[in-house]
Structure 1
Amino acid sequence: MERITWFFMVCGCCMASLAMAAHSNRNLTTDQSALLALKARIISTSDPHNMIFTNWSTTTPVCSWVGITCAARHLRVAVLDISYFGLTGTVPPELGNLSFLVELRLTNNSFHGTLPQELARLRRLKYIGLEYNKLTGTVPSWFESLSKLEVFNLSGNKFSGSIPAAIFNLSSLQIIDLSYNQLLGSIPREIGNLTKLKEIYLDRNNFIEIPNDIGALDQLEILSGSIPSNIGNLTQIKGIDLGSNYLTGTIPHEIGHLPNLEELLLEMNNLNGAIPSSIFNMSKMTWITLHRNHLSEI
């Protein structure tokens, strides 16, 4: 009787293992299909070394493909990094099926067009790096679905319109880079919700106002993007780069009381009034640019 019981226990364990393996294989096939959809959207002539077109093949395991890292536990695609491949193409909606994706890195390619809404399904995503491509349209509001997002980089594209306020409800965000786009209007006051934010880059856009709420971000180290007077609350900030926007008003004298500030870049705006003398007495300051404004002498 004991032998029979032991036999059925072993059989049960084997069946469970086989079922788990089959389920894992099905999910990995889903990942493979999503990546092959991306491959199909890439122009072959933009991949002269066949980094994608030869390596991404159904004859080799997905987890061994160039630019792909799989999670050890689930054997699912966790990182897609094809940065600096010089690829030209569009982003397919099928990428939204990479349900275990943690990092999406497409930096310095020539992906164009708009971002598909299906990417909102990437609920495990912590890092999105789409900088220096040719993406267009508005910054999608569906990014608010990515509640675990920590790094959000869309710099160096052709995004236009205003920044959707919903993005600033992503409480895990630590770095935002929207510089070198065609964004305009005011920064949403919801930015004050991002208590973990350390760096924000907004330069080379067409912003006209930064809200007072930014003064609540006491962890902020770098501010790039009228300048609120409570900027003096940002005691951890090391760099302020708001060059080439349409900021107006005066330079708050409170800037001169930021103990860790090293760089102050305010060139090419519409700032006016006197330059606060205090900014020239800051012990850690190494770089100041104020040209092409309407500033008067100290």
Structure 2
Amino acid sequence: MSTKNLTTDGFALLQFKDRIEDPRNALTNNWTSSSSVCKWVGVSCGVIHERVTALNLSNMDLKGTIPPHLGHLSFLRSLDLSSNNFYGHLPIELGQLHRLRLLRLSYNDLNGEILQTLVNMSDLEILDLGSNQLFGRIPFFIFKISSLKEISLDDKSLFGSLPDDLCHHF
């Protein structure tokens, strides 16, 4: 077990926790430095290196802006913060998550344009940013992510088009 790696991931997650509101105290009572980050609610770790590989905090009534510290979770493959009360712009640091395969931030109050740094996520397969307040043209760089299989961008203030094979039609 590498203490340095767990400290890096644990520090990033504690910084995240300290910058959001947690009305149910789900993180407050569980995410503490006295226990391994791999045992925290919503956190999954890889077996070999014991680094954080998935963060699923969907439907937890969390509120605030998404802090840039999540960009330090360099082994993260899945990030699901859907169905919460996050608002503000997406932090550009999310583009540092090169191993990310799933990014699900739907059903929040996020605004601003879609980040160009998403193109750095060369393994991204699922991008779900729907039901937010995002605006602007659907950026062409999304099509440069060759691994992308599914995308949801159903915000009314986005314009442009996507290839049919990437879209779910409801």
TM-score (norm 2): 0.95
- Bigger share in helix: 1
C-alpha contact (below 8 Å) 1:155/1:181 kept by paired residues = no
- Consecutive unaligned residues of structure 2, counting only runs of 5 or more, are none
Contact 2:135 2:155 in 1 (8 A): no
In structure 2, the residue corresponding to 1:144 is in which secondary structure? helix
Q: CA deviation at 1:181?
A: 4.1
1:200 corresponds, among 164, 167, 170, to 167
Report how far residue 40 of structure 1 moved. Answer: 1.0
Inter-partner Cα distance in structure 2 for 1:92 and 1:155: 20
Matches of 2:15 and 2:45, distance apart in 1: 18
Is the 8 Å Cα contact of residues 105 and 130 (structure 1) preserved in structure 2?
Answer: yes
Per the alignment, in what secondary structure is the counterpart of residue 176 of structure 1?
Answer: strand
Matched, 1:40 2:7: no
Aligned in 2, Cα 1:74/1:181: closer, same or farther, shift over 3 Å?
A: farther
Consecutive unaligned residues in structure 1, runs of 5 or more: 1-20, 202-223, 225-240, 242-298
1:55 aligns with one of 30, 33, 36: 30
Contact 2:12 2:73 in 1 (8 A): yes
> 1:9-158 residue pairs with structure 2 within 5 A?
21=1, 24-44=2-22, 47-48=23-24, 50-158=25-133
Structure 1 runs of 4+ aligned residues shifted over 6 Å read none
In the TM superposition, what is the alpha-carbon distance from 1:180 to its structure 2 partner? 3.2
Aligned length: 170
Question: For 2:138 and 2:39, how far apart are their aligned partners in 1?
Answer: 38
1:213-248, CA deviations, whole angstroms, 9 ceiling, x for partnerless residues? xxxxxxxxxxx3xxxxxxxxxxxxxxxx5xxxxxxx
Instruction: Report the RMSD for the aligned CA atoms in angstroms.
Output: 1.4
Kept in 1, the 8 Å contact 2:69–2:93? The answer is yes
Using structure 1 for the length normalisation, give the TM-score: 0.55
